[in-house]
Amino acid sequence: MPIKSYLAHPVQNKMEDLLKILSQIEACEVIPSKNQNLLIVVTETRNDEEEQNLQNTLEAIEEIQLLSLVSGFNSPQKQ
């Protein structure tokens, strides 16, 4: 179960748009920074395939200027 946290820096004047877009993604929890123009994004996916799909979705968002991975953790599922 991959869990990751990011700092998402929006394109200039696109903070509200980016907040709305990210908030609509089921695997994302989004927290606006109180003193910076950025969003804290925590993601949780069920498996590596879902994680890759989420990564592709995040990379396609034009309102993101920079997405910095802060922390990542992957707990492999037991079989």
Model confidence at 79: pLDDT above 90: no
For 19-32, how does the pLDDT look when each residue is reduced to its tens digit (9 = 90+)?
999 999 999 999 99
Longest dimension (CA), the chain: 47
Question: Which structure tokens are listed for 46?
Answer: 């069920």
Q: What pLDDT, in 10s, does the model give residues 29-51?
A: 999 999 899 999 999 999 989 99
Q: Please check whether the domain covering 2-74 is classified as CATH 3.30.70.920.
A: yes
| Distance of alpha carbon 76 from alpha carbon 36, whole angstroms | 34
Per-residue model confidence (pLDDT) at position 19: 97
3-state secondary structure of 68: strand
Q: Starting from the edge strand earliest in sequence, which strands make up the sheet with 28-32, in order?
A: 28-32, 39-44, 2-10, 64-74
Residue with tokens 């953790």: 73
* pLDDT value of residue 11: 97
Bridge partner list, 27:
none
pTM across the whole model: 0.86
